[in-house]
Structure 1
Amino acid sequence: MILQRTLGQPISATGVGLHSGERVRLALYPAPADSGIVFRRTDLQPAVDVRAEPSLVNDTRLSSTLVTDAGVRVGTIEHLMSAFAGLGIDNLLVEVTAAEIPIMDGSAAPFIYLLQEAGIADQDKPKRFIRVREPVEVVEGDKWVRLDPHDGFTVELSIEFNHPAFNRAPQKVKIDFADHSYVDEISRARTFGFMHEVEYMKSQGLGLGGNLGNAIVIDDEYVLNPEGLRFPDEFVRHKILDAIGDLYIVGHPLIAAFSGHKSGHAMNNALLRKLLATPSAWEYVSFKDPLDVPSSFHRLPEVR
């Protein structure tokens, strides 16, 4: 039987919030089967728990942010959620001392490292997947995202920036996770932004913690980071990383083909909400025999 997963032991790290600029302590704890991913704001008295679910993604300005009816926020969750998806972790308690997850190096790789250091443990309940049974699509002008039935998990995204740094790189990538490793090919791709956006972002209270150590920064022509890009197509690979994290807010791995053009956090969330609102388009499935699991999920790291 394919089982749910949590951490083997607690682990913590400290970093800075990308948008708030605040110092944040992040602590990850094992959680019971069927509890999902729960964020706990320990800086509030009493502490407040916020469950990761699509209906609570109520701020998508440059990140995915959970906002409760009472206004409690947990922001920039997509890179951490992407790491959970990449390692197949179903249940976890995430404690944070601020309203935002630390940005680390702008990718999911530091979170992958933390999770692997803590170890991954099987639990006594079957893992539940969401199988997409009918196409679901969200279109806004020339932007679109889509989920199609597929016996596995693939992501195909394209971006469109009329800019020299982007014109030198592929702006479309398809990853079939039956053949490719999330950890090796997606997790290290960093977030990116333009110098000319910095002042506007700061006027909106965003990007206050951004620097060349946690984002790719681009001027009118070039990438400013001295080390350059980690992949020739790092920009679109990061969009794939974001999309995987945004989709995992549904709480289960998707058996589907996800595709999109010029998509972002808002559209990814709108797609999840439309999927859940269309009962005929999806179903929960579990697998007693590991050989029945689609090959896209065979690459999940071994439990240790």
Structure 2
Amino acid sequence: MTKYFLQKTLSQSVSVSGTGVHSGKQTHLTIHPAPENHGIKFRRIDLPGTQDIPALFKRVVDTSLATVLGANGAIVSTIEHLMASFAGLGIDNAMVEVDDYEIPIMDGSAGIFTQSITNAGIMEQTAPKHFLIVKKPIKIVDNDKYVMVYPEPCFKITCKIDFQHPLIGEQELTFDRAKNNFEKDISHARTFGFIKDIELLKKFSLGKGGSLDNAIIIDKDRILNEEGLRYPDEFVRHKLLDSLGDFSLLGMPIQGHIITRKSGHTLNHLFIESFLKNKNAWETGPTKME
């Protein structure tokens, strides 16, 4: 009998609270289990009667500082770390209720979301999981930056970064779903920023909730966080985490190998747009378990 990968949801609801990195507001978030073929959706419980917002590329309304989804006047912002947790844990179906527009930054990583979901339990459902199965390479280039995907029998993502800073420089990392553990290897990598950029954000009343508790802050020649880094290459691990969150907005997991170089939310979303237009380069369907 042929066995396929099956869809997954949470075994029970779980709640977390935290501060929005840009708004500085306290936000409460509850993740509920959802039925098969539901997908990931967001509900603004502070705006009763508004439409649920599916976590899909066509709902992206901004990528300048974070990934923002919108529908009929309601938005939900800074979703990438939570979406990375869903993607990394293989969660297909969930309803996320929030009482403000910005998903809390927590400690700057996906670790608290990931641990909360794992503690709640992950339940396999009966319907097969559908994949976007890559048949031909697709690549999008912007000067020395690019995002590409090519066929591979499982999901892999390689992230390459290059910052002209002595504490970062060039870093590269591959995450292979079949071999690596998302919770251990990726989820705890924190967002990072340069002190000069943070001062600029605050001038424009952004980054109100940012602090050393939820980001790695870098000066000219040192890291300001007393505890230092969680991984020697935490910077590229976080960029990979962000990319997982961005690419999850395709609505189905990819069967293929994604490679990014110096990419960010905007280029990732341009790649998704190109990917969806190249319908001869992929097909959808369930995947057999080996």
Verify same fold: TM over 0.5.
yes
1-structure distance, mates of 2:204, 2:62 = 13
Question: Is the 8 Å Cα contact of residues 131 and 252 (structure 2) preserved in structure 1?
Answer: yes
Q: CA deviation at 1:62?
A: 2.3
Q: CA deviation at 1:5?
A: 0.7
The residue aligned with 1:42 is: 45
Q: CA deviation at 1:2?
A: 2.1
SS of match in other structure, 1:160 = strand
User: Superposed, which structure 2 residues align to 1:1-304 within 5 Å?
Assistant: 1-68=4-71, 70-167=72-169, 171-287=171-287, 289-291=288-290
1:45 aligned partner, one-letter code: P
1:220 aligned partner, one-letter code: K
Q: CA deviation at 1:162?
A: 1.1
1:129 aligned partner, one-letter code: F
2:280 aligned partner, one-letter code: S
2-structure distance, mates of 1:184, 1:260 = 22
Please report the TM-score for the alignment, with normalisation by the length of structure 2: 0.95
1-structure distance, mates of 2:205, 2:237 = 27
Question: Is the 8 Å Cα contact of residues 9 and 119 (structure 1) preserved in structure 2?
Answer: yes
Question: Is the 8 Å Cα contact of residues 164 and 222 (structure 1) preserved in structure 2?
Answer: no
4+ residue runs over 6 A deviation: none
Percent of paired sites with the same residue: 45
Q: CA deviation at 1:177?
A: 2.8
Q: CA deviation at 1:124?
A: 2.2
SS of match in other structure, 1:33 = coil
2:90 aligned partner, one-letter code: G
Question: Is the 8 Å Cα contact of residues 42 and 48 (structure 1) preserved in structure 2?
Answer: no
SS of match in other structure, 1:110 = helix
Question: Is the 8 Å Cα contact of residues 82 and 110 (structure 2) preserved in structure 1?
Answer: yes
- Give the aligned length: 287
Q: CA deviation at 1:45?
A: 3.0
Q: CA deviation at 1:160?
A: 1.5
Q: CA deviation at 1:258?
A: 0.7
2-structure distance, mates of 1:202, 1:50 = 29
2-structure distance, mates of 1:176, 1:52 = 23
2-structure distance, mates of 1:4, 1:264 = 29
2-structure distance, mates of 1:118, 1:47 = 28
1-structure distance, mates of 2:90, 2:273 = 22
Give structure 2 stretches of 5+ with no counterpart: none
Question: Is the 8 Å Cα contact of residues 50 and 74 (structure 2) preserved in structure 1?
Answer: no
For the aligned residues, what is the CA RMSD? 1.3
SS of match in other structure, 1:99 = coil
SS of match in other structure, 1:44 = coil
Question: Is the 8 Å Cα contact of residues 191 and 216 (structure 1) preserved in structure 2?
Answer: yes
